[in-house]
Amino acid sequence: MSLYDERLQRTLDAIGMKKVDKIPFSYSGPAYIARAQGLSIADALTKIDRATTAVIDFLHDHPGIDTMHNPVQNPYGLSILWLSQIKLPGEELPDDELWQLDEKELMTEEDYQAIIDEGYGPWAARFMKEKIGDPIGKMAPLQPERAKVNARIKEEADVAVINGALGGTPIEGFCGARTLMNFFMDIMDEPELVKAAMDKAFEFSFPNFCKTLETNKPIGTWVGGWRAAPNLMSHETFMEFVWPYEVQYVNAAIERGVLPILHFDSPWDSELETLRELPARKCLLMLDGSTDIRLAREVLGDHMAIQGDVPATLLAMGTENETYEYVTKLIDDVGSSTGLIVSSGCDCPLNAKKENVDAMIQATIDYQVK
C-alpha cells in the first residue's frame, strides 16, 4: 500500500469506526500555510502554483498529516455562498491581511417574491452582477486549477484532499444578503414567503451539487452549517428551515459514494441527537470548538466520527505544552482507538504559533492507540 493510500485508509477507517494504528490528523487552513512558508496572503490567492508548492513543502515538513481540506482558497466562492461582497488582500486590504466578507443589506424583502417569480438562478445571476461584483465571473478562471492542485498534492506529498464540493442550506446566502438580524426577523414576520423562496433556491442549487459530485467524484464534500447553526433558532424553526435541506445533501452524497463532511461551525449542542437520524458511520462531523465535542461523542456514540477541535485561541495564544496536552486529552476522551480525526477547530488561524501547530500534529503521532 502506498503512503497516500495508507493515510487515506487510516482516515476512512476512523470514519467507519474501525480501529486505527494511529490517530489520524487532517489539516485545514490555507492562510496559515502561506504565512508559515513565507508567502503573502495576496500571492496565496492569486499565484496558485506558488501556493500549491508552499502547501507541499508544509506537508513534507509535517509527515503526521494524513489528509487535508481546502489547500488553496478561492475567496470568490465565499462571496457566492454568502451573497456578499468580499475585500481582498492586495486590493482593498494590505497584501498580508486575511480576506474579509463585507456583509451589507443588499437584498430587500421584495426579493423573496422575485426569487419565487423568476426562479433562483436568474435572480441570483442578476443580483451577483449588480450587487456584489460578479464573483462567478471572477471565480471561473481559478476553478480549473483546483483539480491540478489536488493532483500535485497527491503526487508530490502523498496526501489526499478530502473535500471536493460544497453544499449549504439557502439560509447561508439569504443571511449574507439580508444580514443576519433582518433574515431572522423575516422568518418571524413572513415565514411562508421566506420558506417558498428558500425552496426555490434549493431547487436550483441541489441539482448543481449532485452534478458536481457525479462529474468530479471527490472523496468527500462539505455540507455546511454556519448561519444554519441551531443556537440561533428554536428546534421547530431548525426542523422547518434547515434540517430538510441538510438531509437531502447528506443522502445525495452517500448515494454517490461521496463522504458527507458536516462542516458545522458554531454551537450544535442542541441538535446533536438529531444527527443520529443520518446514516450510521457514513458521515464526518467537523466541529470548530463551539460545540461541546465531548457531549457530541456522548450523544453520538459510535454512530458518527468527529473531526476537531483544537481551538484557534489555543493555537494562537497558548503554549506548546498546553497544545500537546489538549490534544492528548481530547483523544483520551473522544476517540482513543477510532472515531476521531484530530484537527484545528475549523481553519488553523493565520496567527497560530509554529510550535503549537507542530505540537498539535506531534501529539497524534506520539499517542498510543488503545
| Cα 327 to Cα 309: distance, rounded to the nearest angstrom | 9
Position 201 scores a pLDDT of 98
Domain with residue 130: its CATH number is: 3.20.20.210
Instruction: Name the domain count of the chain.
Output: 1
pLDDT in tens, 254-303: 999 999 999 999 999 999 999 999 999 999 999 999 999 999 999 999 99
| Residue range(s) defining the domain that contains residue 118 | 3-366
Residue identified by cell 418571524 is 188
pLDDT in tens, 193-221: 999 999 999 999 999 999 999 999 999 99
Q: How many CB atoms lie within 10 A of CB 106?
A: 18
User: What's the chain's length in residues?
Assistant: 370
The answer, yes or no, to whether residue 18 has pLDDT greater than 80, is yes
Question: What pTM did the predictor assign?
Answer: 0.96
Give the number of C-alpha atoms closer than 13 A to the C-alpha of residue 66, restricted to the C-beta side.
Answer: 25
Q: Which of 273, 280, 167 is nearest to 228 (CA)?
A: 167
pLDDT in tens, 94-151: 999 999 999 999 999 999 999 999 999 999 999 999 999 999 999 887 778 888 999 9
Position 267 scores a pLDDT of 96
